[in-house]
Each structure stands twice: as structure tokens, then as C-alpha cells.
A and B are shown apart, each in its own frame.
Chain A
């Protein structure tokens, strides 16, 4: 035990220094996974707290980023699940202001913001890591600690669900437009 403590004390880099290097990427990852800047900040703060608590147990500092990302993704998953249980509806979507939230704005600009709620938390995480973090499927599998096939499956069903939702909303829009004529 003493050897382990001595090892921890001998680290040349502090937690703050290491964490600061990944902070922007972590914030973006959480932001796109959660689709909300405030929630993202909350998640990153919690991930920082947890990783700081466990810092002395991390033997290889080079693995900090994947280790931290895994913690962060788990926190995001919990948040997504909770948000699904306690879904808050916008009282007036027309009045929703996205300008101050860069993630909501980006999702809205690409016209995927309305589609994302159809995804399960795990599907949303895989989509986020694949398209917005630009990780390979194998990298995603490693990060999530799941088999590659699981990632492939989640992504496949996620894309199918997004496509179906897109078609459904397009069809509904067309029907409404037709009715208004």
C-alpha cells in the first residue's frame, strides 16, 4: 500500500493539468449527448468530481482521457434516463430560445433536434460518439466497454429510428400543409 501511495505522490502532472487538457472535448461530448449546455456543464462537473476522487487509483495517466470519457458517458446516460422518466415539455416551442445554447442551436440548425428524442440513451450516446466525436466503431466499443457488435447494433437501430422519425414528421408536415390549403 505504501508503494502505491508513493507512486501516486510521484506523479509529475496534477489532476487539474490533465483534466484541463480534455475539458473542451468533454464539454462538447456531454453537450451533444445531452443536447443541453446547462446539463452538459453539470455532467462534466460531476465527472470531474468523480475522477478527482479516483485520481489516486489511476495508474497510467496516458489513459486519463478514455477513463474520464467513460465516467462522463455513464453520467450522461444516467441523466438521459432520468430525463426520459421526467420529460419536461417546452411550454411553447415557438418561444424557445436556442441562441444561448450552442448545442441546441447546432442540433436545430442541422434539423435533427426534433428527431433525437426517439433514441434511447444508449443509441443517442453511440450516435454522438460516432458523428459528433468522430470515433470509430471499435473506439466506441472500447470506450463503452461493450462488444463491437453491440455498438453496430445500436447504431443501426438508431439510424433506422431517426430515419423513420424523419419520414413520419415529414409526412405529418405534408398532411398539415395539405389541410391548410
Chain B
């Protein structure tokens, strides 16, 4: 059979009368309320989290109403927990000037909520990851706008989230979400009419938001910009921006124990490999810091229990110590060291704070792969972890409750696998929460942090929906559903060249 014959045969499928939609579908449609829901996120959660229970949704309206009411109640609970959801920021790739460092993966939230203390008491009792299920969901609710998605996001005090999106997701600007899953450009919000490019957002947890970026400067340079807001819609520029931030694009901002820390660098001038830092306690007044220990066109910063973790290409090599620094105030940086078995590694790509310390994905020394490290709570002492079953990781998130610790990571490989640690659920050995770091960086190492030098990973089940994705996925959120006791993971990537979001959830109890 030649191609023409095949095509004719295919076309013949639709010869003759065509079927019409069955009455049951028409009835289903007509039973829908005419007005669209005011808060579609509640139903969105229903669709995402309960898609596996779709049998309950149809066809009896009474059952559907009960299910809907149940879903709304679940959504409300999730909304409450939303304050504890971990907002991670997607890595934004610095243009190729530095092959050794992907720029800041602010996997940290704007506020240091990765501490389990930030979580309300949960019923997280996940025991069996074999039940981990994933759903591809539509992230783009607005058919007119493409790929609204944040690279950095924080929770709004009034509810919902605001994030910074980039051209990669359609355009640069602020995006909003009621639930952290569905994002859109409404209401259109710009912080400045002069065409500033936004890169990162942070919040102090008390209602203040800070967004950073850059505006075109003189002679092709960029001038950093910082704006503050209390609602995400009305923004005020920090005064004297050109004087304070001139010549350097600000790339990332976080909020930690001592206030805001912003980092900036240029990627257009290879001769300038300076990373600049500014700190502020109120978001309005900023002070430049000297003595930043890293150089290049990328940096990673993460608020931790008692300060900040900084990672990047070291200005000066210091043996094989990891290129990771701790500061309690953003001013004095102390370099981390190996707890044992020194292993040359590159900068941090992604990290998550748990009650056992900091778990970080770092580049290998030659930049060809990644390793997993476990550090103390302040990131001063590190050791490599054997990650059997997960060759190269890209981003990591965690959640824990009475049921244990769950680590979830996305694979760096283009197959887009998501990995779930098995033994992190119930760490072996005597585990106690990490000791607290002092302001000078002195740390009592956590017993739990070093109780096991290996983490076994398994590929999250039912993940073949991610197969073939041309780029890896990045974890956005990891949260817990109080009502069901299940863990929920949100990540996104490019399935079949189209941006998408996956919601992973595992049954609890």
C-alpha cells in the first residue's frame, strides 16, 4: 500500500454520516450552571486532585454536587495550608557567559518557610510512595495568553500568589494565581512604564513584597531596579535606583532572618564577573555589601534557619571546600567545609531545608553532572550523599510531618523524570532535628543530617506522561493536604514542546 492509498483509506473513515454527541453529554452540559465560577481554583483543585475519582463526578447531579462541596472544602483546607506551601522559583538560566553555573535557583521561598516550623501541624502520614500518582494539568487557563508561569513567586497576604514570569513563558511581568497552580496575566500589572525587566520576587511574610529587575542603562548596560508593594498590583520604585544599582542587573532577591538580600550581575560584559549584593531590612532602603565571595554570571541564595546560604563560583579556591557560604546577616560570609570525605563539587543548583539540615543538588566539579549533598542547618558542614537510582538531579523540594520526610527531585536528564526518595520518608538511625546555628555560624551538627550517607531514589510512579519532555522539570511547590494526609507536588516543564504543569499526589494514611 503506497502513501496515497493509505491516505485515502484514512480519509474514508469519515465517509458517511457522522455520530453526534450523545444525549448524556448534552444533559451534562445543560446541567452546568450558566455563570462561570467566581473562584475556579476550587474546582481546579477538584479536577486536579480528584481526577482519579472522576467516576464520582458524573452522571448524577446530586452526587456531583456533594463531590463539588467536598472538593471546595478540601480546597479551602489546601488554601489554608497554602501559607505553608513551599514556593520555589524556577531556575532562570543566565545567558551562556558562564558554562559552570546556572543562575539562582531560588528554590527557597521569599520567606524562610521551608522550616517545618512554618507548617501548621499536619496529618502528613505518607508511608508508601508506590502510590504516587501524577496528573498533567492545563496550566494556562486563558486561551488567549500563552504559558503564564512564574520563575519566582510568593504568597500574597490577601490570599493567592504573585510571581514573576519571563519571556520564556510568553512575556516578562507579573503573574497571579489563586492556588499556585493556575497562573494568568490578569490583572495586567506593570511596575514601571520604562520597560524594566523583572527577574525575582520576595515577601517578608507580613504583607510587603519586593520585586527586582533591571532597566536599560547607558551604553548598553543595565541598571538594577527594586520596587515594593503591599498588594502585588501597585508598586513603588526604590529611590536613587540608578545611584544604588547602576550598571548591574539585579537577578534575585530573598527574604531571610536579617531582611532582604538581593544579588546582581551582568551577563553582557564578559570582562565583568562581579557579583554585587545589597541588603535591606525594610525593602525601601538598601545598602551595598562588599566582600561577596563569588564571581561570575550566576548565584544561588537561600534563606535558612539562622541566615542565608550563598553559592556560586568562588573568587578564590580554598582546597576542595564546597563553594557554599553561610552568613547570618548577609554581610560576613563563612565558607562551608566538608564534614568528611572531601569531594570537589561545583555550586548549588537547588536546595531544600528540612529538619535534618539542608539537602542540596550541586554541580560536579567539571560541570558534567550533579551530586546530592547533605549539610547542617546553616550549611557549614557538608557530606556527599549516594543517590542510587537518580543519576543527575535538577531541582529538589521536601515536606515533612509526623509521617516522616519526603524528598522529591526532578531529573536533569531530558527524560524529565521525577524522583522520590524512599528512605527519606523514614530516615534510619537516631534522628533529631538540626541544631541551631549561632549568629557567627557556629553549628551543632544534626545527628539526623549524617545518620545516613545514602538516599535511595525511585522514579515517581505513573510518570510516563513526562516522558519525552525536551527539558527537565522544575519543582514549583511541595505541599500537604491536611484533610487527606497526602503529599502534593507541583512541577512544570515542556511536554511535547508545550508548557504544562503536573500535580503529583500520594494518598496518605
Q: Mark B10-28, 1 if CB is under 8 A from A, else 0.
A: 1111111011111011101
Q: How far is the CB of B235 from chain A (nearest CB, A)?
A: 16
Determine the distance from Cα of A23 to Cα of B3 in the docked complex, in whole angstroms.
32
Q: Mark B136-164, 1 if CB is under 8 A from A, else 0.
A: 10100111101000000000000000000
When the two chains form their complex, are residues B146 and A145 in contact, meaning their CB atoms are under 8 A apart? yes
When the two chains form their complex, are residues A49 and B187 in contact, meaning their CB atoms are under 8 A apart? no
Chain B residue with minimal CB distance to A3? B187
Chain B residue with minimal CB distance to A134? B14
Chain A residues contacting B47 (CB-CB under 8 Å) are 46, 49-50, 53
Chain A residues contacting B497 (CB-CB under 8 Å) are 145-147, 150
Interface size class of B (residues with CB under 8 A): 35 or more
Residue of A54, A64, A77, A81 most packed against chain B (CB within 10 A): A54
Choose among B6, B21, B465 the residue that contacts A81 (Cβ–Cβ < 8 A).
B465
Chain A residues contacting B25 (CB-CB under 8 Å) are 23, 27, 41, 44-45, 48
Determine the distance from Cα of A150 to Cα of B54 in the docked complex, in whole angstroms.
33
When the two chains form their complex, are residues B29 and A48 in contact, meaning their CB atoms are under 8 A apart? yes
Known: A20-B26, A20-B29. A55 touches B18 (CB 8 A): no
**B43: interface (CB < 8 Å):** yes
Q: Is the interface of A mostly helix, strand, loop or mixed?
A: helix
When the two chains form their complex, are residues A163 and B1 in contact, meaning their CB atoms are under 8 A apart? yes
Chain A residue with minimal CB distance to B51? A46
**A71: interface (CB < 8 Å):** yes
Determine the distance from Cα of A44 to Cα of B186 in the docked complex, in whole angstroms.
27
**B40: interface (CB < 8 Å):** yes
Known: A50-B138, A54-B40, A81-B465. A132 touches B13 (CB 8 A): yes
Chain B residue with minimal CB distance to A59? B144
Determine the distance from Cα of A144 to Cα of B20 in the docked complex, in whole angstroms.
24
When the two chains form their complex, are residues B13 and A45 in contact, meaning their CB atoms are under 8 A apart? no
Q: How far is the CB of B360 from chain A (nearest CB, A)?
A: 33
**B464: interface (CB < 8 Å):** yes
Chain B residues contacting A134 (CB-CB under 8 Å) are 14
Choose among B1, B22, B187 the residue that contacts A166 (Cβ–Cβ < 8 A).
B1
When the two chains form their complex, are residues A55 and B19 in contact, meaning their CB atoms are under 8 A apart? no
Chain A residues contacting B2 (CB-CB under 8 Å) are 163
Choose among B6, B58, B464 the residue that contacts A159 (Cβ–Cβ < 8 A).
B6
**B63: interface (CB < 8 Å):** no
**A172: interface (CB < 8 Å):** no
Chain B residues contacting A27 (CB-CB under 8 Å) are 19-22, 25
Chain A residues contacting B182 (CB-CB under 8 Å) are 54
Chain A residues contacting B37 (CB-CB under 8 Å) are 52-53, 56
Residue of A50, A66, A84, A159 most packed against chain B (CB within 10 A): A50
Known: A45-B28, A49-B47, A106-B14. A74 touches B138 (CB 8 A): yes
**A37: interface (CB < 8 Å):** yes
Chain B residues contacting A137 (CB-CB under 8 Å) are none
**B7: interface (CB < 8 Å):** yes
Residue of A37, A48, A63, A74 most packed against chain B (CB within 10 A): A74
Determine the distance from Cα of A150 to Cα of B495 in the docked complex, in whole angstroms.
13
Determine the distance from Cα of A111 to Cα of B12 in the docked complex, in whole angstroms.
10
Determine the distance from Cα of A134 to Cα of B11 in the docked complex, in whole angstroms.
9
Task: Report B454-509 residues with CB < 8 Å from chain A CB.
Answer: 462, 464-465, 496-498, 500
Residue of B13, B22, B498, B500 most packed against chain A (CB within 10 A): B13
**A58: interface (CB < 8 Å):** yes
Q: How far is the CB of B177 from chain A (nearest CB, A)?
A: 12
Choose among A5, A58, A107, A146 the residue that contacts B144 (Cβ–Cβ < 8 A).
A58
Chain A residues contacting B58 (CB-CB under 8 Å) are 45
Known: A26-B21, A48-B32, A52-B32. A66 touches B143 (CB 8 A): yes
**A110: interface (CB < 8 Å):** yes
Closest 6 pairs (CB-CB, A-B): A67-B143, A55-B36, A102-B19, A27-B21, A56-B36, A54-B141
B-side interface residues toward A, CB under 8 Å? 1-3, 6-7, 9-16, 18-22, 24-26, 28-30, 32, 34, 36-38, 40, 43-44, 47, 51, 54, 57-58, 135-136, 138, 141-144, 146, 182, 184, 186-187, 462, 464-465, 496-498, 500
27 contacts between A and B (CB under 8 A): A23-B26, A27-B22, A41-B21, A41-B24, A44-B25, A48-B32, A50-B138, A53-B44, A53-B47, A54-B142, A56-B37, A57-B40, A58-B142, A64-B143, A67-B143, A71-B138, A74-B138, A81-B464, A84-B464, A107-B13, A110-B9, A122-B496, A144-B498, A145-B497, A159-B6, A167-B1, A170-B1
